[in-house]
Structure formats: C-alpha cells, structure tokens
Structure 1
C-alpha cells in the first residue's frame, strides 16, 4: 500500500514541519506533497528545507502563477499530481497519530472499498488557543458515531438520518481512482467548507467504509489564527458561510440525475433553513411564517443543526 499525503500550506511556518514528520513516520507514505499557497509568513522557506531534507519523499509545489488560490485549489493541485494508488489529506497545522493507517491496511484489501474514514481529535497549540476555543472543541472526537454501510454515508452526512456524526479530510484515505467517479474535485469558489462539500459529494459517488471511530487517528491543531475556528466561535458568522455551502450542494444535487428525491428535498430544505438564519430580522420572520405554513420541514431541518439554532435569533 503506497500513499500520497497532500498538505496545503498557508501561513503555517510554525506547524508544517510537525505535520510532515507525522506523515513520514509511515513506511506506506511514499510521498508527501506540499502545496505552498503564497503564505505571508516564512512557510515557503520551511517547505523548501523540508523538500531538500527529504528529497525522495517530500515534494514542493506552488500554483503556476505562484499566487494564493485557497485550500481547495491547493488540494486539487496535489490530487492531480499524486502518483500513488492511495491519497490521504492533512492540514499543515494538524498531524497524524501512529495508528493513522492501521485500519486502512486491512480494509483496502477489498477491491470494492473506495475510501476509509476515521476519527480525529483535538490539540491546542498554545494556552491562549485553549482559552479561546476549549469551550467549542474541548477534547471531543470528530467522528461518525457508529459503523454504517457505504450506502448510508451520504444521507448520514447531509443529516437525513438524524444523529450520524462527521468525519474530516484528515481522517480520510481514498483510492485515487475514486476521484474519477466524482463530478468535480474541490469547488474553488467556496472560501470555506470546500472540504465538507467534497466529502459529501464523494460519499454520494464512492463506497466509503468506517475505520477507527472510537479513538483519533489524526489531530486537529487549534491556534488563534485558525479560520475555521473563527467560524465556529462566531467571529465569522457561521450561517452565512453555510448558506453558500448548501447552495452549492443544492445546485449540484439538482443536476445529478441519480439523486434520490428525498435526499434532494432534504438538501433544499437545509439550504432554506440557513437562508432563514442568515436573513435580516423582518425577512427572517417572514420566511419562518411562510415555511411554517407551507413547508414546516424546512424549519425542522435547520433546528436539527446547532449552527442554525445559534443564528436563528441573532
């Protein structure tokens, strides 16, 4: 089993060495692909040093124009240049744990398996970060709560099956051939949640199996400048970013000829619910009254989501 690990790098000079070394601990990792995305710090110099030190296993890429294109397009560049049969993902401020590929080595022996997902934990890179964000992440696992067959993963991730849980790209390993089943790689016009959009669409097209769900196989690094932590803490309004995510998913689902009607309807209702949460006060309550009278499930879809509930009365 040979694996390409894709690491997008932006403003991560303090953390990327740990990320790379955590991937290189595995004999199965044949290459680590760093995609440096015009960082404002000294991340490029750190990446150049890593590529020189580990010249046979660490590859450094930049976008053709040497510009900043975001994590989605950086991961796309990595996926297009990966040479191994299997691909794993890692953010530059996160790191793998020693059990990262234990389940994958067995599960991928079955040819029908397109991907394996596992749980990730939390690491606070500083006491200040812990003070700021511990109330959000605590020591929780990001995981799917119990094993499910592949056919249940997509409806589970979109929330159609109630309490399902989540997995992160840091805990995902896929066959490179699985990408050929998808309509597109990561959507580059989404500034946030490109990975969530990618995981949901991947789950629709590919056979994804559970790996280790009850303990972490990788760790999310939390620090003061995490963009997703800014969203989770409310400094960036979560509803507005999720309106864009669910609008993307709705547009894709409407064009997908094999999309079941109940799943399309649920995606539409989730989009509506976040539109409500992100609306001005008068429009919000007008939409609530409209959907209470015509489509109560659009409201109920949102009430299942903690981020909708946080923003409903803001």
Structure 2
C-alpha cells in the first residue's frame, strides 16, 4: 500500500512533530502532506523544519497564504496527494503502530473503498480534560458498537439501524481509496468551519463502500487540550445549536440532489428543522415550532438525539 497522510495544521506547533513522526514510522505511508493554514503560532516554522528533515514530508499552503479552515485544507491535501490511498490525521493527534494493520488484507476485496477503525483519547492538559468531561464526556475509545459494511454504515451513522451502531468514527481512523474520492467527486464542505468531518464521513458512507476494521482497540490517539474549540461549547447552548443547524443543513442540501431513500431524507430534514427551530427566539420560534409539529410530529423526537463526539482545533 502507498498511503498519503493529510494533516491540516493550525495553531499546533506543540503537537505537529509528534503527529508527523507517528505517521512516518509506518512503512505504508508514502508521504505526509502538511497543509499550513495561516497559524497564529510558530507552526509554519516547525512544518518547514519537518519538511527539510524528512524526505516524505511535503509542505503546502493555500495559494493566498490565508486561513481557510480544516475542510479547505484537507481538500487541498487531497489534490496534492499522490498515494493510492488517503488517510487523515489532526495535527494534535497521532497514529499508533497498529494504524494500518488490517488495511492491507481488507482492501484486497476490490469492492471495499474505505476502512474505519477506533481511536483512543489522551488528555494533554488539565483544563482541556475538565472542559472535555463537562461538555463532551465521551468514552476513552471512540468507536462503533459492532462491525458493519456497505449501506448499513450509512444507515447506522444516521441512527436508522435496528441495533444502535453508533453515530460517529473519526477521520484519524479512516483510510479511503483515492480512486473512490475521485469517482464520487466528494469534497469537504468548506463553508463548515466545524463538523465538516462529520458531514464528509456521512456523505462518504453513502457514496462509497465502507467496512469496519479494528473497532475494539485504538489505532490512533486524539489529544484533548486547552485549544480544542469543540470542547468549549456546551451541548444545546445557542452556539452549539447554531453549529448543529449548519451541519444538518449541509446534509439536507446534499440529500436533495442525491437518491437517498425516503427514510434517510426525512431523518436529515427533521434534524435540520429541529436545530433550525432551536436557534429561533420568542414568538417566531413558537409559531414555527407549532407549524413543524403539525406537519410532522416526529420532530419532537429529534432535537436531542444527535450528539457530537469529535474535536477540532480550528
């Protein structure tokens, strides 16, 4: 296997060296692509040093040298990648030695276009740990509840399987064929500054044939620290609801131009409407809510069902 590992870099000078070196230790990694996104710290200098030190490390910035967010950075990384497979890594996370242990065997099946695995958690600061436990309170191992593949993965991520599949797995633990991304034309939504990874994964599960890999133990570690923006937002606060609305609205717009089954379309539509209502206030909110309930009472079951479990630093 020849794998291109894409790392968007923003405000991560303290962590990026460990992330890069964790990828370089793996023989399957053909190249590590750093997309520096106008960091306010010294990350660009660290990235330059890494690119000079290691032949497999390639450093890029956006053409205008500006800040465009993780979605745009990952899209640029995909454009620059030359490997047959794509993997992603956040700049404050790192791979474990077993990261690609099952990929070689599972990708022997030509219908498999992506493999997802489990990741663990490391608390890098006391403040980050406190915010994480109070606002996210996720388990150490971020994984799904049982192995699945194909259309069941998409249904599971939307919570539409008889047995609870789990609502998320992270980019750090995803490996996908470069040809599958090219075939589907799928890109990260650059308008989403957060949750664009969740958005991408759900869409990927629809367009491509994904299969569970190592889901009972970690193949990578996510770092929790003071600068994780997502851990600072309390669930169901106005800011949380606004971000969730933007996420579900992105999926809603996508669902309208793709041939999803009616149950999936309805679920996405209801989630979008629920969070749209949650950001309204006063009489406008009450009026819109009553109209929505009259149209479909199932909306009362949706608002608090979806929980977000990943983190990002930009």
Q: CA deviation at 1:127?
A: 2.1
Which of 247, 250, 256 is the matching residue for 2:249?
247
2:4 pairs with 1:7: no
Look up the match of 2:294. 293
- How far apart, in 2, do the equivalents of 1:101 and 1:138 lie? 24
Which residues of 2 match residues 1-314 of structure 1 at below 5 A?
Answer: 1-54=1-54, 56-135=55-134, 136-137=136-137, 139-161=139-161, 163-165=164-166, 166-231=168-233, 237-256=239-258, 258-306=259-307
Compared CA separation, residues 253 and 124, structure 1 to 2 (3 A): same
In the alignment, the residues of structure 1 paired with residue 215 and residue 282 of structure 2 have an alpha-carbon distance, to the nearest angstrom, of 41
Gaps of at least 5 residues in structure 2 are 309-314
CA, structure 1 residues 251+73, in 2 after alignment: closer, same or farther (shift >3 Å)? same
Kindly provide the CA deviation profile for residues 176-206 of structure 1, in whole angstroms up to 9, marking residues without a partner as x: 0010232431111111111111111111110
Range 266-275 or range 12-21, more displaced: 266-275
Distance apart, 1:226 and its partner CA: 1.0
- Aligned 8 A contact 1:122 1:137 in 2: no
Secondary structure at 1:122's aligned position in 2? Answer: strand
CA deviations on 1:134-189 (whole Å, 9 max, x unpaired) are 34345432211101121111122122236321100011000000102324311111
Cα deviations across residues 219-255 of structure 1 (Å, max 9, x unaligned)? 1111111122223567872110010111111111111
Q: 1:298 to 1:164 in 2, by over 3 A?
A: same
Give the superposition deviation at 1:78: 0.5
Distance 1:155 1:208 in 2: 12
TM-score, length-normalised on structure 1? Answer: 0.92
Q: Equivalents in 1 of 2:214, 2:234: separation in Å?
A: 25
Q: Per residue, is there more helix in 1 or in 2?
A: 1
